[in-house]
Structure 1
Amino acid sequence: MNLPWVAIQRNPISGTGTRASLIIDLIRYLKQKGIRPRLFSNRERMQELLRVRSQENPPVCVVAAGGDGTVQDLVNRYPDQRIAILPLGTENLMARYLGIPRSGVFVGEMISRGATREIDLCQMQQQRFILMASVGFDAAVVADLTEFRKGNISHLSYLKPLWRTIRSYPYEPLLISTDQSSEEITAYHAIIVNIPAYGLKLNFSPTANDADGLLDVILFKKKGLWSTLKYLYQIVRGSHLNSPDVQRIQANRIQIRSARPVPVQTDGDATGLTPLEITVLPKAGRFIVPC
């Protein structure tokens, strides 16, 4: 008889130290519920097991034991599987949005109950992401952090990359076009929102809907450090969408190009350079959620 089972992908960086005890709590709880856990640190081994077993005995779900980068990795590797999140990263934006605390027992109970929520995903070239993308200054900070990252990161890890970006960022103009309009818009920073969750609890598009089949695109049209600081102040206050040089549009597809390559980040990870095209995949993500 085939027992129900789950595959757990542990992030080798964030799933260590004291956070490893949360994985142990999850494993113990699943065993008590008669669900067999299979824990992996090696992505390729987990992928091979799922390839072999998914036809005859598919898993209850796959578990992202890590941060938002781990969640994004599973969304791309296993588009047909339900995903549960054990939040072990620095921000854990997706888990926070879904109301999932940092608790192995809670996540184990959530998996055993099996409530599922379908959410829009986004696709950029061959890469899927969930929360948001940005092109410009903050993506340059993320790219700098990624280049020099060693071990776990905290909010303090961003200080040096932020300082280096402040000193060197060139503010290249971005040319934005969408499927909703023939007009091409020029801006210096673009935020593409699928789910209204961002680091430091900043909220670029509070009314964004995770299942409406649309992207919320926030465009900042003035360049320079002082304009960036002004925009940040407005975002913290929640007044940026009232600014005459900030534009919000909605679209199913967006294209961004620039004369020189500009950094791009998705869900907090560096994801290359412009040019890019992002499209919505309506309700393509299935997540295990609290009842």
Structure 2
Amino acid sequence: MHFAIVVNTTSGKGLGESIASRASERLRHAGHSTSTIQGTDAAEARDVLKKAIDTGLDGVLVVGGDGALHAVLDHVADSDLVFGLIPAGTGNDTARSLGIPVKDVDAAVDLVIAGHIRTIDLARTDEAYVATVIASGFDSKVNERADAMTWPRGNMRYHLSTVAELRSFEPLEFTLTLDGTTIEREAMLVAVGNGPSFGGGLRICEGALMDDGLLDVVVINPVSKLKLLTVFPKLYRGTHTALPEFERHRVREVTLSSPGIVAYGDGERLGPLPMTTRISPGALHIYAPPSPT
């Protein structure tokens, strides 16, 4: 089989290229052929990948995290191509949700070599496919603030943005249309999950399954700023679901609207609300262990 390996050279603190080289060597040793695709940015890498797909591929492997995956989903979703993920990012929520090893390159490649294929759903907006979570509200305002900062770099920028946003943040007015039924909520954030987590392990949509044909829409209703600080540790454990402010709906389609709010999917900026998201059942064939269910 011939695989294209797409590399995000900034993933894994700049280790993306060496991880790709190791993966390629292991695949060739198992009798497969590979070609490496990288660009100066995601757009260039996508263009090169499209040309490679047109010439004939058996599969596409991405070395990186959720952002690198997101960049190529449009080319592999709803197709016969099989997708592989070699985790090298900081988030890796897709890999964790599917049981793909995040700290063992050889083990992740061995899933490909063994041919373990799982078919999962994707969330789909008019702009893009999303594998994990689409978030809007407090989290997206933090992202907007962080993206506007030139210093510091890395996760510290997001920590500072979170603190700054907390000082001024007030609950937002959302209109949600859930499978045709419209409700209005004042909320801290609304998340639409194909999978359970985003942001490096924030399990906002705890219990969401990536192959059930449904989107999990989670609303965090108004809480005090002090309580919001205490909610964040619960998000990493998924125990926030016991809070009275937690609200969940399971639907096939949702439209979100909130004035001036931007949505982020797989950690990438999607665009301003309103936005409609639909489930795309069985849209992605991916090398992963079998579903535990």
Q: TM-score scaled to structure 2, two decimals? A: 0.85
Does residue 1:38 correspond to 2:35, yes or no? yes
Shift of 1:77: 2.4
Give the corresponding residue for 1:91: 91
The alignment yields a C-alpha RMSD, in angstroms, of 2.5
Give, in whole Å, the separation in 2 of the partners of 1:223 and 1:161: 19
Structure 1: which 5+ residue stretches go unaligned? none
Alignment of 1:1-291 (within 5 A): 4-14=1-11, 17-42=14-39, 43=45, 44-51=47-54, 53-54=55-56, 59-79=57-77, 80=79, 81-101=81-101, 102-148=103-149, 153=154, 155-179=155-179, 181-222=181-222, 225-232=225-232, 234-235=234-235, 238-258=238-258, 260-290=259-289
Listed one character per residue, the Cα deviations across residues 162-215 of structure 1 (whole Å, up to 9, x for unaligned) are: 233224445431111211534444433111121112335332333222111111
Q: Check the 8 A contact 1:176/1:187 in 2, yes or no.
A: no
Supply the AA of the counterpart residue of 1:28. Answer: E
Secondary structure of the structure 1 residue equivalent to 2:172: coil
Give, in whole Å, the separation in 1 of the partners of 2:98 and 2:37: 24
Q: Check the 8 A contact 1:6/1:62 in 2, yes or no.
A: yes
Secondary structure of the structure 1 residue equivalent to 2:191: strand
Shift of 1:221: 2.0
Listed one character per residue, the Cα deviations across residues 218-248 of structure 1 (whole Å, up to 9, x for unaligned) are: 1122165335335435545654333333211
Structure 2: which 5+ residue stretches go unaligned? 40-44
Shift of 1:151: 11
Secondary structure of the structure 1 residue equivalent to 2:190: strand
Shift of 1:15: 6.0
Supply the AA of the counterpart residue of 1:49. Answer: A
Supply the AA of the counterpart residue of 1:27. Answer: S
Q: Check the 8 A contact 2:3/2:59 in 1, yes or no.
A: yes
Supply the AA of the counterpart residue of 1:146. Answer: D
Distance 1:141 1:183, change over 3 A: closer
Supply the AA of the counterpart residue of 2:211. Answer: A
Give the corresponding residue for 2:42: none
Give, in whole Å, the separation in 1 of the partners of 2:25 and 2:14: 18
Give, in whole Å, the separation in 2 of the partners of 1:16 and 1:217: 33
Greater Cα shift, 98-107 or 63-72: 98-107
Give, in whole Å, the separation in 2 of the partners of 1:191 and 1:86: 26
Shift of 1:19: 4.3
Supply the AA of the counterpart residue of 1:131. Answer: T
Q: Check the 8 A contact 2:206/2:241 in 1, yes or no.
A: no
Greater Cα shift, 176-185 or 213-222: 176-185
Distance 1:118 1:136, change over 3 A: same
Secondary structure of the structure 1 residue equivalent to 2:91: coil
Q: Check the 8 A contact 1:135/1:191 in 2, yes or no.
A: yes
Give, in whole Å, the separation in 2 of the partners of 1:171 and 1:120: 31
Secondary structure of the structure 2 residue equivalent to 1:173: strand
Percent identity between the two aligned chains: 23
Secondary structure of the structure 2 residue equivalent to 1:199: coil
Supply the AA of the counterpart residue of 1:253. Answer: E
Shift of 1:99: 2.1
Secondary structure of the structure 2 residue equivalent to 1:49: helix
Give, in whole Å, the separation in 2 of the partners of 1:208 and 1:136: 20
Supply the AA of the counterpart residue of 1:5. Answer: H
Secondary structure of the structure 1 residue equivalent to 2:31: coil
Q: TM-score scaled to structure 1, two decimals? A: 0.86
